[in-house]
Amino acid sequence: MQQHPYFMSSNRNAKLVMLFSLAALLLTFPLLGILGEGQSFLGIPNWYIYIFVVWLVIILFLRRVVHQKED
């Protein structure tokens, strides 16, 4: 059966939805609040590093998934 173009990249679509949920979870409370407490790294608070690193990682993953060849 020929597949509808909308469903052809279903693998990518599933990954994107997963990434969306993960980003929404990691970048909101309560996870943000948990990392608020704790030590600093080179004087930079942990939460500051956490937010920007998670943010960057999500962007890099997004780039990977969006550019992957349709399968």
Partner 1 sequence: MSEASIIFISIGYLCLLFAIAYWMDRRSRKGKSITNNPYIYGLSLAIYCTAWTFYGSVGKAASSGLDFLPIYLGPTIMACLWWFVLRKMIYISKSQRIASIADFISARYGKSTFLGILVTIIAATCIIPYISIQLKAVAVSYDLLKHSGNIAWSADDALLVPFYQDTAWYITIILAVFTILFGTRKLDPNERHDGLVAAVVFESIFKLVAFLAIGIFVTFGVFDGFGDIFRQAAEKAAIAETIFIDQTDMDGWNWFWLILISMLASLLLPRQFHIAVVENYKVDHIKQASWIFPLYLLIINIFVLPIAIGGMLKFGDSTNADMFVLSLPLLENKEVLALFVAIGGFSASTSMVIVAITALGIMISNNFVLPFLLNSSTIKGSAEIDISGRLLGIRRLSVVVVLVIAYGYFRFVSAKYSLVSIGLISFAGVAQFAPVLIGGMYWKRATKNGAIAALIVGFLVWAFCLPLPTLAEVGLLPQRFVEEGLFGISWLNSYHLFGTNNMSSVAHGVFWSLLFNSITYVVVSLYTSSNPLEITQADLFVDIYKYKEGSSDYEVIRRKANVNEIRSLLNRILGVKRTTNLLNQYAKQHQIDWNKVEVANEDLIRFAETNLAGAIGSASAKTILNSVVKVDPISLEEMFKILEQTQEIIQYNKQLEEKSTELQATTQQLQQANEQLKALDELKADFISTITHELRTPITSIKSLANILQDNPELENQQQYSYLGIIVNESERIARLVNQVLDLERMRRIDWQQEMQEVDLSELVQNTYLSLSTLMDNKQIKHSCLLASHSIKVLGVEDKLKQALVNLISNAIKFCDPEQGIIKIELQQR
Tell me how far apart the alpha carbons of residues 8 and 59 are, in angstroms, rounded to a whole number.
Answer: 23
Closer residue to partner 1, CB minimum distance, 1 or 30: 30
- Contact present, 49 and 41 (Cβ < 8 Å): yes
Task: Supply φ then ψ for residue 40, to 5 degrees.
Answer: -105, 155
Does 10 interact with partner 1 (rule: CB under 8 A)?
A: no
Residue of 47, 54, 45 lying closest to 27 (CA atoms):
54
Could you give the string, one character per residue 52-71, with x where binding to partner 1 holds by CB under 8 A and - elsewhere? x--xx-xxx-xx--xx----
Residues that bind partner 1 (CB under 8 A): 4-6, 12-13, 16-17, 19-20, 23-24, 27-30, 32-33, 36-37, 40, 42-45, 47-48, 51-52, 55-56, 58-60, 62-63, 66-67
